[in-house]
Structures are given as C-alpha cells and as structure tokens.
Amino acid sequence: MVRLTATLLVMAGVLTTVSPARADRAADAVSASEATIGQQLPDLRFTDSNGRSLSLSSLRGKPVLLTLIYTGCADVCPSVIESLAPALEIGEAALGNGSFSSVTVGFDTRNDTPQRMRSFARDHGAGGENWHFVSADMKTLDQLTTAVGFSYFASAGGFDHMAQVTIIDKDGKIYRQVYGSTFDPSQIVEPLKELVFGREKPFLSFAGLADRVKLFCTVYNPNTGRYYFNYSLFVSIVIGLISLGLVLYVLIRETRKAMRAGGI
C-alpha cells in the first residue's frame, strides 16, 4: 500500500521524476516525510532575502508553512510557489492578516543566495511581510531536511525532489504534510484553520467558544475560491443547542414532578 501510494504521489508531482525505476526511492521519501508528523523542529537560523537573520523560534506563537525549493528549478518549484501564493492570500482573508507565517528555503546552498531568493519570489508573485524567502548553509539545510522529511537528489541539470508543504503548529511541531506541485487552496487553509481556531483554548471560555464557532462555520466555497462565515450553519447550531437545552429542561422538570408525586 505504501509503495502504491508513493507511486501515485510521484505521478502527481510529489517527486519531480516519474520513472518507475525510482518507485522504491519515492516510497522511502514519502515514508520519511510522514514519519516527521508530530515531531519538534530544531531552532534553526537562516538568512532572509534582505540579508537579515531569521530563526524558526522567532516565528513561534502562530502556525508556519514551510517549503523547500531551488531557484534554478524551471517547472515544479515555480508551480508550487505560484499555487501557494493564492492559497495564502485566501487564508489570510479567512483567518486574519498575520495569523500565520510562511517560510520558503532554498536547498541549493551554493546558488540560492539571498539575492536569488529575492528575485525568485518577485518573479513568481510571492513574498511579503509574513512570507520569508531564506537561504541556509549546508549544515542547517541537512538538519532541516531531516527534521521535515524532505528528500532531494542531484540529477542531470538540477535536482529530483519532493514537492511538499510542511505545516507547523505554533509550538514548532509538524502538524501536516501537503504534497503536490499544485493544490486546491482548501488543502492549505483547512489545516491552518484547525490550528488558528484550534482546541487549545478552554471550551467554556469566551475565546474558546468563539474560536470553535469560527472553526466549524468558516467554510470553503469552491465556486468562488474563497472562505466565508456560514451564518445558516451558525444559526442551525444555535437552534440545535437551544432545542437540546429545552429537552433537558423538560426532562429534569418531569423527573422532579415524578419524584415528588412518589414521595421520593
């Protein structure tokens, strides 16, 4: 099953090769990637496209989307970034500006300089205040690729590599892996929604209750490609809770009457 799944993922663009001879390598790559879910990321430090230092710990407190690309890539990497850009725009509109961050790391350490990362972001309509394009040295890259289960191999003219978006929770633990060179916005926004409107806050607190409502009532409309707050669903939930409360009230009242009538 794992090897069949891996082969299908290769065909879908998880790895940039579709050679049947590399199915075993693909299976190992997918297994390594999935095995990282729930693991804590180390606190690594990068250089952003403006030459400033950026550490993963500085992004703690909100979810992070992490991708790895190389700037010399002519097909899959541009597709990943160009598919991710509208998904992040939709996510910020639905979940709130600044509710999550994104980091794109260049894994060709020799060539993916801050200047080239900046140009790559500009050429593909990406980047911004909460989307960091960063460079890394070889030691840092090795630690990162191991931590997130990202596989890449040198090939003629470049690299064969995973097409992977790693979603990290506010505490720096890997929450989800999303595969493919293109994807529907909901594949990215749904796990972010679970994290932003998650279950950490006490249910009986106002903030916890409000976030639960947002979690269940903020829904994706594939026709418009946008998220919206479903008021009809919210009203249905409220009516359901009121109805349940009335039923419980009647049951308790009738039980008390029966107990009094029986002299209990």
Mean pLDDT of the chain: 81
Say yes or no to pLDDT of 218 above 70: no
pLDDT at residue 28, as a whole number: 81
Average pLDDT over residues 37-65: 96
Reply yes or no on whether the pLDDT at 29 is more than 70: yes
Among 77-91, 159-173, 215-229, the minimum mean pLDDT is found in 215-229
In the chain, % of residues over pLDDT 70: 73
pLDDT at 223: 67
Reported as a single tens digit per residue, the pLDDT across 149-177 is 999 988 888 898 989 999 999 999 999 99
Given pLDDT bands bounded at 50, 70 and 90, which one contains residue 142? very high
Predicted confidence band of residue 5 (pLDDT cuts 50, 70, 90): very low
Label residue 27 by pLDDT band (50, 70, 90). Answer: confident
What order of strands is seen across the sheet that includes strand 164-168? Answer: 53-55, 45-48, 131-135, 101-106, 64-69, 164-168, 174-179
Please compute the mean of the pLDDT values over residues 1-24 and round it to a whole number. Answer: 48
pLDDT for position 248: 78
Across residues 244-248, what is the average pLDDT? Answer: 75
Residue type for 115, please? Q
Average pLDDT over residues 214-220: 53
Strand partners, 103: 66, 132
What pLDDT was estimated at residue 204? 46
Predicted confidence at residue 39, as pLDDT, reads: 96
Q: Is the pLDDT of residue 105 over 90?
A: yes
